[in-house]
Amino acid sequence: MLVTQQPVFRKFWHAVMPLTELASGPRPFRLLGEDIVLFIDASGQPAALRDRCCHRTAKLSKGWCVDSEGQACGTGAIQCGYHGWTYDRSGQVIRIPQYEPGRTISPDYKTTAYRCTARYGYAWVALEEPIADIPAIPEFDDPGYRTIFQFYEEWQTSPMRALENSFDNSHFSFVHRATFGVAASPKPSRYELVENESGFYAETVIEATNPVKFHAISGVTDPITTRHMRNAYFLPFSRRLDIEYPSGVRHIIINCFTPIDDGRMQLCQWLFRNDTEADCSAQMLIDFDEAVTREDKDILESTDPDALVDTRRRGVEYSMESDRPGMLIRKHLMQLLARHGEAEVHRGMSAVIPVAKAA
């Protein structure tokens, strides 16, 4: 599936950038193939515009923020670095330095503005009117949990590949044999799956190696421990993994696999823990999850990002019983496309033929 060719994905909120990245001024991002610029406006809220000035098409991300007097500052309106045309969060040009004071600026002078909001320490963007809310993360405001912002990085793969991998128990003994995978137990545990409107919930228990240097992460000292995994998928490209160890320690990972274009995605990862810094340092948690994540990244970047979604296309990819969560992801994505009159668009298609819109 080529995500940039599926218009429905423009109608979802996507985690685009940590708010801390915008503290020093405008930043560029590519979302679903669209070049956008993000900045913090005068009210302290993130804003997103098409990354083109309507004057001579320079990238607005080459500019800076200015206050009401036109002076450079960290937050405010965004000023083009080419000729100084200045835009508010609605994309309207509000100042042209070459004009004499009081001269009217044409309302046609504007660039596209996108919906942008702050949530969970990130700027989220929807390219069109969203049809679903941002998935809830109750631990973010729960004093019983600490929040650790772990990863914000580009991967050369697609959200579909990252999603199916995150529910795939059959790769642990191979991809993660150097971290938590149990090499002697290649047969995966079975998920209990419950579907819902936004995706599905998947629960299982797995074995995991527990080296001495990471005992503080699990809270137990057994060489092999268990992980009670409560996993959830949210349309289109998010997941929640709630790992509970026998010690009662909860290790909750939230991922948004944000589509940059048809071959790249941005990994956004939060971690929530119900212990303290004295129990297990944030740096140890980051180091452990980074080692695991690097293993996934290495193998996923070797796959074809144009992942098959419509399973009626035979002979492209084959599956086994443990791939059931990945097949459910495909089912929900196909249902989403059908509801909006779309068919899967993939590489090599000579024409895109939309399906009839569901009643």
Residue 188 CB partners (closer than 8 Å, separation 6+): 168, 169, 170, 172, 206, 322
What are the sequence ranges of the domains in the chain?
A: 24-126, 138-340
pLDDT for residue 348: 77
Q: Tell whether pTM > 0.85.
A: yes
Domain 138-340 = CATH 1.10.238.10: no
The 10s digit of each residue's pLDDT in 272-298 is 999 999 999 999 999 999 999 999 999
CATH of domain 24-126: 2.102.10.10
Nearest Cα to Cα of residue 48 among 62, 32, 63, 60 = 60
**β 146-155/122-126 pair status:** unpaired
Nearest Cα to Cα of residue 218 among 242, 246, 241 = 246
The 10s digit of each residue's pLDDT in 169-225 is 888 878 887 788 777 777 778 899 999 999 999 999 988 899 898 899 999 999 999
Q: Within the chain, which residues score under 50 in pLDDT?
A: 351-359
Strand order across the beta sheet in which 77-79 lies: 72-73, 64-66, 77-79, 86-87, 93-95
pLDDT for residue 128: 98
Q: What are the backbone angles phi and psi of residue 323, rounded to the nearest 5°?
A: -85, 10
